[in-house]
Chains A and B, each alone.
Chain A
Amino acid sequence: DTEVTQTPKHLVMGMTNKKSLKCEQHMGHRAMYWYKQKAKKPPELMFVYSYEKLSINESVPSRFSPECPNSSLLNLHLHALQPEDSALYLCASSQASGDLVNEQFFGPGTRLTVL
């Protein structure tokens, strides 16, 4: 299995809702990532998990809460989002992070719309 899966594919939520995005990989990768991509812009890193521990938080607002329950799963919990948070959210995984340069494998993304 050489793919990263993301659910749901599309999500529409109100500003008072609580929702979660899910990402899964079964390649034995120990680093997982969340990126946010606005229209016609490149992906921007949000979080990095390495060996199930949060290693990088790129100053993301607390209304985004990541969680890595195990080495195969990565969640992004959403609460009290703003319309400007509407974007494509991409998950990626790679072999153990650190000194090695490793390619990241991306999921298809979740298209989020905040009303």
Chain B
Amino acid sequence: SQELEQSPQSLIVQEGKNLTINCTSSKTLYGLYWYKQKYGEGLIFLMMLQKGGEEKSHEKITAKLDEKKQQSSLHITASQPSHAGIYLCGADNGNAGNMLTFGGGTRLMVKP
């Protein structure tokens, strides 16, 4: 089965600082998703990457997919307290059903 490893597991940054979260897959990535979750709540879809080298941005968040390395990175520029939460990467296993396997999550705290 596919496994996703996220790093770091937790991160505390000062407001205004940039940060990067990584997600590495044990198998070929067919689709890589980034979600954000507030404690005890549902997942908010951020971005989906499909092709090697693809890069997407939304507001101050940029995600890239390195297909060869089976890795994705999520970069936040000029972090704000509103960016705090748990960031989860999820991978589509490529089979029928679009089942998602998630990484362990990165818990982000932004200090004002």
Contact B43 A43, beta carbon cutoff 8 Å: yes
Residues B40 and A111 in contact, CB atoms below 8 Å apart = yes
Is the interface on chain B under 10, 10 to 19, 20 to 34, or 35 or more residues? 20 to 34
A8 nearest CB across to chain B (Å)? 14
Q: Report the minimum CB–CB distance from A28 to chain B (whole Å).
A: 16
Q: Are B42 and A42 in contact (CB under 8 A)?
A: no
A87-99 to B contact mask, C-beta < 8 Å, 1/0 = 0101010100111
B residues whose Cβ falls under 8 Å from a Cβ of A: 30-31, 33, 35, 40-45, 48, 50, 88, 90, 92, 96-105
Is B98 touching A109 in the complex (CB atoms < 8 A)? no
Chain A contacts to B: CB under 8 angstroms: 4, 6, 31, 33, 41-45, 48, 50, 55-56, 58, 88, 90, 92, 94, 97-109, 111
- B101 CB contacts on chain A under 8 angstroms: 45
B24 to chain A, nearest CB (A): 15
Kindly state the separation between the CA atoms of A24 and B3 in the bound complex, as whole angstroms: 30
Complex Cα spacing A111 to B105, Å? 19
